[in-house]
């Protein structure tokens, strides 16, 4: 299965107030393996960035002034995620911002039109570790993922860290091979033969002696025996 682990950085917290996406980072997983294919871009938001947001990701208006705008990279981005399941930490935040960008040109567009679905690792972590911190830093510590180079939030770095965390959180789930107990054994199977055990069949005299013993036991008990 193909999955895209994705993260964004933004100018603020609410796209409904005009805040924009300024960085997208994405990492490809195929059959639970990091393929090395990534998507990464900075974006010019055509607006100021909240001071609180700059403290989180370190991206400034001056740095982004010569970067492409979302419509310039839209086709490449949608091609990269096409047909994949998206893996996002706190998915409603990123999905909300990306939908806001998509709908600036097409009011009916939606991120889920372009992928197989969205998996929220924050929701998953809360279910697995209730009552504990479940932000990305906490999960890195819990699953022993090295995040020592994370001085600032960065979309591509965070996507790479989340990919490692996601694989650690879900380790073993895709490798279970359970045979259904409803499947009947082959008719030709002989008990003991497959295990290499020598099977000895009772002789006619032994079988007759055994039946005689059962009949005597039934007579002594005064009832029919059920075996």
Other residues' Cβ atoms within 10 Å of the Cβ of residue 169: 17
- Relative to beta strand 85-88, strand 2-10 is parallel
40, 89, 153, 210: the catalytic one is 153
Residue 153 among the catalytic residues: yes
Residue 223 above 90 pLDDT? no
201, part of any domain:
no
Domain range for 112 is 2-169
Rounded (5°) CA angle 140-8-50 = 105
Q: How far from chain centre, in Å, is Cα 196?
A: 43
Torsion angles phi and psi, residue 27, rounded to 5: -125, 135
207, part of any domain:
no
86, part of any domain:
yes
225, part of any domain:
no
180, part of any domain:
no
pLDDT of residue 149: 85
pLDDT digits (tens, 9 = 90+) for 39-92: 999 999 999 999 999 999 999 999 999 999 999 999 999 999 999 999 999 999
pLDDT of residue 225: 53
Indicate the pLDDT class of residue 147, thresholds 50, 70 and 90: very high
CATH value at residue 9: 3.30.420.10
Distances (CA, A) of 131 to 8, 16, 60, 125, 126: 26, 30, 35, 10, 7
Domain count, the chain: 1
pLDDT of residue 190: 43
205, part of any domain:
no
pLDDT digits (tens, 9 = 90+) for 92-128: 999 999 999 999 999 999 999 999 999 999 999 999 9
134, part of any domain:
yes
């Amino acid at each position: 299965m193909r999955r895209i682990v994705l993260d964004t950085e933004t100018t603020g917290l609410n796209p409904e107030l005009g805040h924009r996406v300024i960085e997208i980072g994405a990492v490809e997983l195929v059959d639970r393996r990091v393929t090395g294919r990534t998507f990464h871009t900075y974006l010019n938001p055509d607006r100021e960035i909240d001071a609180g947001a700059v403290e989180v990701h370190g991206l400034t208006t001056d740095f982004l002034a010569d970067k492409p705008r979302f419509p310039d990279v839209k086709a490449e981005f949608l091609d990269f995620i096409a047909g994949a399941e998206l893996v996002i930490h706190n998915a409603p935040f990123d999905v909300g911002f990306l939908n806001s960008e998509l709908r600036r040109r097409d009011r009916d567009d939606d991120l889920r039109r372009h992928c197989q679905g969205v998996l929220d690792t924050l929701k998953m972590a809360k279910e697995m570790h209730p009552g504990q911190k479940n932000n990305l830093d906490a999960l890195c510590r819990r699953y022993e993922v090295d995040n020592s180079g994370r001085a600032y939030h960065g979309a591509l770095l965070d996507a790479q860290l989340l990919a490692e965390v996601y694989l650690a959180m879900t380790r073993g789930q895709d490798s279970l091979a359970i045979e259904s107990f409803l499947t009947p054994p082959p008719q030709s199977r002989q008990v003991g033969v497959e295990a290499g055990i020598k099977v000895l069949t009772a002789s006619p005299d032994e079988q007759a002696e055994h039946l005689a013993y059962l009949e005597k036991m039934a007579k002594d008990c005064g009832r029919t025996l059920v075996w």
